[in-house]
Structure 1
C-alpha cells in the first residue's frame, strides 16, 4: 500500500468518524467553505480520496481542523501520532522544567551566541557518547 492510498483511507475514515459521507462533492464543499486560499476542484479532492494525491500542508491543516484530528495523524498515521504524543509527553514532564527554561533562554540569545552554545552542547554529547561506547565495547 502506498503513502497516498494510506492517506486516502485515513481521510475517508476521518470524514465518516466526523459524520460526513466520504464523497468528493461533500469534501469539496466542506473544505472550500473553510479554506482561505484558492478553492480546490472536485477533481483535486477526488484524487485525495482515491489515493492519487496528498494535499499540501496548509490544506492538510484545514482538513485536520474540520475533521477534528491531529494533522500529523491524518497525514502520517497512528505511529507518527503516537511518536509525537510521546515526545510531547516527555517535554511536558515536570522534571524537565529546568531544561525547558534553558531552551527558552537559548532561543532568546542572538545568533552568534546560539552558535557557541550549540557547539559546546554538541561537543559534550559527542564526548559522552564516546565514553559510553568505550564502556559498552
Structure 2
C-alpha cells in the first residue's frame, strides 16, 4: 500500500505533467484523455480524480499509459527527480569506477548458485564490518 506522501507527490507530478503538455489539471480532462490512450477498462471520473487529489496511484499498466500520453518516462511520475538524479549518478559512478577485472567478477557472480551468492555477500559484509 502506498503511503499518503507518495500519493500526494504523485498527484503533484501528474498535475505538473498535464500542465506542461498544455492541459488543465481537471478530472474531466484527465478522464477523457486517459481513456483515449488506454486500451484496458476505462477509468471513471471518480477514479482519475483520486489520482489528481493524491488519494490513489494508478497501477503499472495505467501508469505506463499516462506516461505515454504525457510523453514522459513513467519514473518521472512516481520518482522524485532528486531520486532520479541520484540513480543516474550512482550508475555513472559504477561505470567510471569499475575496471575490466571488476566487471568480470560481477559477471562471474551472476552465474553462481543462490547459496554461493549468499556466501559471497556474507563475506563482503564481514570484510566491511572489519574495516
Structure 1 residues 75 and 109: alpha-carbon distance in aligned structure 2, compared to 1, 3 A threshold: same
Aligned partner of residue 55 in structure 1, secondary structure: coil
Aligned partner of residue 23 in structure 2, secondary structure: coil
* Residue equivalent to 1:83: 86
* Residue equivalent to 1:47: 50
Equivalent of residue 31 in structure 2, options 28, 32, 47: 28
Structure 1 residues 115 and 5: alpha-carbon distance in aligned structure 2, compared to 1, 3 A threshold: closer
1:86-122 deviation line (CA, Å, top 9, x unaligned): 22222232x3143344223212222222122222212
Query: Unmatched 5+ residue regions in structure 1?
Result: 129-137
Q: CA deviation at 1:32?
A: 3.4
* Residue equivalent to 2:126: 123
Q: Is 1:6 the equivalent of 2:9? A: yes
Pairwise CA RMSD: 2.6
Query: Highest relative contact order (Cα 8 Å, sep 6+), 1 or 2?
Result: 2
Residues in 1 aligned to 2:28 and 2:76: alpha-carbon distance in whole angstroms: 23
Query: Unmatched 5+ residue regions in structure 2?
Result: none
The TM-score, its normalising length taken from structure 1, stands at: 0.72
Greater mean alpha carbon deviation, residues 70-79 or residues 107-116: 70-79
Q: Count how many residue pairs are aligned between Structure 1 and Structure 2.
A: 127
Structure 1 residues 97 and 80: alpha-carbon distance in aligned structure 2, compared to 1, 3 A threshold: same
* Residue equivalent to 1:108: 111
Structure 1 residues 36 and 86: alpha-carbon distance in aligned structure 2, compared to 1, 3 A threshold: farther
The TM-score, its normalising length taken from structure 2, stands at: 0.74
